[in-house]
């Protein structure tokens, strides 16, 4: 074999190895993005599970309070309306990529949280209700669910942050653009969340 042919084969071998390495790297980055995206979807499913749990508890809570606090009709109607508003929203994977749709979902959930808070505040006026075992059980389940929602929202935000960082880092951003990956939305703080609530006795 002549020396020029040996050099040409060596160069060709190096180019082929570099090509294989580049393709392998691209596949690895793509698979990493797929894994991160699925982690976001899994975290979101947990958020939805907790919202669904709260959604399912509300009718029982409203009915229990209604039996004791008939004159608090407006508060009960507000909770029912907020629950209906949340029930009308269908969250698809596309919503996680659409900041406006995600914001509408979050506003509906925040409205339900506020309505439930008002409902629980009025129960302070009804000592008999506060001692009812059914109400106490529902209240405890609801409080536990609210805590789970907070935990799952925090976890979702962490997973989204990891995913969004991967999308923006070079050179993975090139693979993300080719693969059609796009950033996911974060939860925002509820309006006026930076102000401490005023407690009056």
CA-CA-CA-CA torsion sign (8, 10, 16, 18): negative
Contact of 149 with 47, CB cutoff 8 Å? yes
96: containing domain:
3-179
3-state secondary structure of 104: helix
The answer on pLDDT for 79 being more than 90 is no
Q: What's the predicted TM-score (pTM) here? A: 0.72
Q: What is the mean pLDDT of the chain?
A: 82
Confidence category of residue 158, pLDDT binned at 50, 70, 90: very high
More confident residue, 96 or 131: 96
Any domain includes 189 = no
Residue 194 backbone dihedrals phi, psi, to 5 degrees: -75, -15
What is the domain count for the chain?
Answer: 1
More confident residue, 199 or 160: 160
Any domain includes 66 = yes
Least confident range from 48-52, 111-115, 146-150, 190-194: namely 190-194
Mean pLDDT of 138-145: 86
């Amino acid at each position: 074999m002549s020396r020029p042919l040996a050099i040409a084969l060596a160069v060709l071998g190096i180019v082929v190895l570099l090509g294989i390495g580049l393709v392998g790297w691209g596949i690895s980055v793509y698979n990493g993005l797929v894994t991160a995206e699925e982690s976001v979807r899994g975290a979101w499913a947990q958020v939805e599970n907790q919202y669904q749990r709260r959604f399912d508890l509300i009718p029982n809570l409203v009915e229990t309070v209604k039996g004791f606090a008939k004159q608090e009709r407006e508060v009960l109607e507000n909770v029912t309306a907020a629950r209906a508003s949340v029930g009308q929203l269908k969250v698809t994977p596309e919503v996680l990529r659409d900041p406006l749709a995600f914001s509408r979902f979050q506003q509906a959930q925040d409205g339900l949280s506020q309505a439930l808070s008002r409902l629980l505040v009025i129960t302070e006026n009804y000592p008999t209700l506060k001692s009812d075992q059914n109400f106490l059980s529902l209240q405890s389940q609801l409080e536990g669910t609210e805590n789970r929602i907070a935990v799952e929202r925090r976890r979702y935000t962490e997973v989204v942050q990891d995913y969004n960082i991967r999308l923006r880092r070079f050179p993975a951003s090139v693979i993300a653009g080719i693969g059609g990956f796009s950033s996911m939305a974060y939860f925002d703080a509820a309006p006026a969340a930076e102000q401490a609530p005023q407690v009056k006795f």
